[in-house]
Amino acid sequence: AQTVTQSQPEMSVQEAETVTLSCTYDTSESNYYLFWYKQPPSRQMILVIRQEAYKQQNATENRFSVNFQKAAKSFSLKISDSQLGDTAMYFCAFTVVFGNEKLTFGTGTRLTIIP
């Protein structure tokens, strides 16, 4: 069974600073995808970034980047130049390629950007 662990229930950072959210996962599979989703107060789940496990290069999307360490089964999200609109719950998620299409989510990190 796959599990995803987010060990930081809450974090806060000053606007314009950089923050890193941690995520670890456990799987015996070698081919999988990893995701970070954002859930603002509006409740909508929004995809932030995805990473294919076979790629060594870390994914980036504008101010968002990941540090993917496959051997350590770690997948952290870095937000640079944080903005007030980044305030949200952030969920790490995982799915196995050619598996049951199920997204397994972590418990989330509540991030607050302080003006």
Partner 1 sequence: DAGVIQSPRHEVTEMGQEVTLRCKPISGHDYLFWYRQTMMRGLELLIYFNNNVPIDDSGMPEDRFSAKMPNASFSTLKIQPSEPRDSAVYFCASSLGGTSGGVGRDTQYFGPGTRLTVL
| Among the listed residues 23, 77, 96, 111, the single contact to partner 1 using CB under 8 A | 96
Q: How far from 107 is each of 17, 25, 89, 98, 101, CA to CA, in Å?
A: 24, 12, 10, 24, 19
What is the DSSP code (8-state) at residue 74? E
Q: Does 28 bind partner 1 (CB under 8 A)?
A: no
Helix (H) or strand (E) holding 50: strand 46-52
User: Which residue, 26 or 52, is less far from partner 1 as judged by CB?
Assistant: 52
CB of 53 to partner 1, least distance (A): 11
CB of 56 to partner 1, least distance (A): 15
Q: Does 33 bind partner 1 (CB under 8 A)?
A: yes
Half-sphere exposure of 15 (CA within 13 A, CB side): 5
Question: Can you give the binding site for partner 1, defined by CB under 8 A?
Answer: 33, 35, 37, 42-47, 50, 52, 91, 95-103, 105-108
